[in-house]
Amino acid sequence: MTALLDVRGVSVSYGAVPALRGVDMEVGAGEVVAVVGANGAGKSTLLKTISGLLAPLSGQILLDGDDIAGTPAYDVVRRGLTLLPEGRELFREMSVLENLHLGFWPTRRPSSLRDERVEHVFALFPRLRERSSQHASTLSGGEAQMLGVARSLMSSPKLLVVDELSLGLAPKVVAQLFDILADVNAAGTSLLIVEQFVHLALEHSHRAYVLAKGSVVLSGPSAELASDPAIVSSYLGGASTEKAGAR
C-alpha cells in the first residue's frame, strides 16, 4: 500500500511536558485510519501537528513523500491535507456560503472552481443549500457540523483529518455524517479520524492506532482491535462499548 501520510518519530511538548513521544503511523491512499485512546493520550495533539497547527520537536511528517513538519497550516491545506477541528470553529457571524468560500480560499484556485466545489458540497448536504444565506450562528448543532464537514471538503483534500465528529450530536445525525464520510472515502479521499466513541471509530475505519501517554502502543486492523477485550479494557477504558448520545 502506498503511504499518502507517513509520520515518523514525531515528538511534541507543551513547554516541559511531553505530549507525543516518537509517534510512527501511516495512512494509505484511499484508506480510513482511526486514532483511539483514553482522554489525554495525545490524539488531538497528533492531529494538530499533522495539520500544521503545532510544530514537532522532532520527526518527519511526509505527505505524498514531501516533509510538511512545521509547515504553516494554510500551506498544508494547499498541499492536500485538511483538518476538521474539534468543535468545528465556524465563523458564526458569517453566512453558510461565506464559510464555504473560506474553506476554498487557501487553495488559491480560480473562483469558477470554487463554485463547482460549492455545488458539490450542497449535493452532499442539501440542507446547507436551503440555509446558504443564514449566519452560521443560527444553525442547529447537526447543521453546524454538516457545515464544518462541507467547509473542509471545499479544498478537495487528498486526506481529510477529522477530530471528534460526533461531539454533542444526536446519534441519528452522527450516523448520517459517517455515511457521508464513507461516500467521500469511496470517491477517493483518505480519512484520518479521532472519535470519542471508540466503537464508531473502529466500525468506520480499516486500521487503527492506539495511543497511550503520547505513544503508539498498538496498531492493526480495526475489527481485530475492537474484538479484543483485553485491548479495550487496558487501553480504551471500555469505551468501545459506549453508544453515541449516551452522555
Of 103-117, 155-169, 193-207, the least confident: 103-117
Q: What is the pLDDT of residue 185?
A: 95
Top pLDDT among 234 and 85 is at 85
pLDDT band at 1 (very low <50, low <70, confident <90, very high): low
- pLDDT average, residue stretch 196-215: 92
> In Å, how far are 94, 99, 138, 142, 150 from 135, measured between CA atoms?
5, 9, 6, 15, 15
Of 145-149, 151-155, 227-231, the least confident: 227-231
Q: What is the pLDDT of residue 159?
A: 97
Task: Reply yes or no on whether the pLDDT at 160 is more than 50.
Answer: yes
- pLDDT average, residue stretch 99-103: 91
Task: Reply yes or no on whether the pLDDT at 95 is more than 60.
Answer: yes
Task: Reply yes or no on whether the pLDDT at 241 is more than 80.
Answer: no
Mean pLDDT of the chain: 89
Q: What is the pLDDT of residue 105?
A: 81
pLDDT tens digit string along 116-131? 999 999 999 999 999 9
Of 6-15, 82-91, 220-229, the least confident: 82-91
CA dihedral (106, 108, 110, 114) in degrees, to 10, reads -10
Task: Reply yes or no on whether the pLDDT at 228 is more than 50.
Answer: yes
pLDDT tens digit string along 2-33? 799 999 999 999 999 999 999 999 999 999 99
Which amino acid, 24? Answer: D
Instruction: Let me know: does 4 contact 190? Beta carbons within 8 Å.
Output: yes
Q: What is the pLDDT of residue 107?
A: 77
pLDDT band at 238 (very low <50, low <70, confident <90, very high): low
Does CATH number 3.40.50.300 belong to domain 3-89+158-240?
yes
